Amino acid sequence: MLVQICVTLLTTALLVASACYTDSPPEQRWWAAGNVAASVGMVMCNLDGLPPLANAVLGYAVIAFGLGLVLRGLRVYCANTLSWTSIAIITGIALVIAAYYTYVAPSLRARLCFSGFYFALLNWICALAIAQRRSWRVSGIALAGFVLLGGGLFLRGVHMATHGDPADGASSLVIALSALVVPLGQIIIAFGLILMVMWRYAERLRRLSTLDALTGALNRAGLEMQGKRTGLRAQRGGRSLAVIMIDVDYFKVINDTYGHPVGDEVLRHLARLVRLELRPHDLLARFGGEEFVLVLDGVDREAALKVAERLRARIEYEIVEFDNLSVRYTASMGVVCSDQHDYDLIRLISAGDAAMYEAKRAGRNRVIAG
């Protein structure tokens, strides 16, 4: 029990240390707070010098409260939440049952059985909250930890239910196994939760480095990285690769007339319209200020021209609503294909750019093939 308490305190210290900075995500703070509460509850349950109310009743309630906070953090991580009412119910059940077996029908064995089964259930509910996200590569370690910890507590509850005096089985194989499994599960959970946060930060960094913050399209770095893979995939499959260069006509006039916030909304609007034409394996990137690149895998020149013309017509008839303003805009497009320019993405973009400027010189709001 002393080893278990020490492991609980150490894993709690690890989670608290990882959450003690200004920009830590809220779920990490909930996990740390929950582990602190659970540690306090375990200490209360194992200090015989405390009065029965604290030792045999409030200690279990504090542990349940801590598990409720951990569950709330997991729900927040999964873009959900857990109400304070639910946390109060989780805590209240532990409080009422522990008080019943302490004052109404005093039984250490029954209280220990209840704590084993109830805390096992709460850990399995935490595991279920992670499993519903279905991101096994990221959250599999924490999921395994909650399942393992729940299993150890359940095993302890079963042992207490099937044996007489709990003290008689202290050295039994079941107690020894549960004493090993419980701290092991706590360690796995702590590292699993930290790994989940690390993966989330890594994903944010990836998005910041490859996505345009304004429109959500790929930036030039993201286009270079993913475009090469798309080109190689199309070349190996013997498919055509088409590139459509899109540029907003008179974009500087829009900014000067309506202001930059309206210009930004026009770019976001254009990105949304283009995404409606995208298939899952196509790419959209913001190549410059008001210039976008659309990379189409398995589309030949004629099909790409139809896509571009459909986009041009849709853009022409759409209205951008922003801050009580209604703005129309048009776009010029250049279309090129690997059938004429090979699969080199740089060459395709260069040829598409030239075709797009030809469309501007020809009067704008039109599509020209390179």
Please give the positions annotated as active site. 290
Paired sense of beta strands 291-297 and 320-322, if any = unpaired
Instruction: Say if residue 72 is exposed, middle or buried (CB neighbours under 10 Å; 0-12, 13-18, 19+).
Output: buried
Q: What is the DSSP letter of 107?
A: -
At position 79, the amino acid (one-letter code) is A
Strand partners of residue 286: 292
Strand order in the sheet with 291-297: 283-286, 291-297, 241-248, 331-337, 367-369
**Distance in angstroms (rounded) separating the CA atoms of residues 352 and 242:** 9
Planar angle of CA 227, 231, 235, nearest 5 degrees: 175
What does the alpha-carbon distance between residue 116 and residue 49 come to, in Å, rounded to a whole number?
A: 23
Q: Look at strands 367-369 and 331-337 and give their pairing.
A: parallel
Mark 245-267 as b/e (b = at least 16 C-beta within 10 Å).
bbbbbebeebbeebeeebbebbb
For the stretch 117-126, what's the b/e string if a residue is b when 16 or more beta carbons lie within 10 angstroms of its beta carbon?
A: bbbbbbbbbb
At residue 282, φ and ψ (nearest 5 deg) are -85, 160
* Phi/psi at 71 (5° precision): -65, -40
Q: Which secondary structure element, helix H or strand E, spans residue 61, and what is its range?
A: helix 59-77
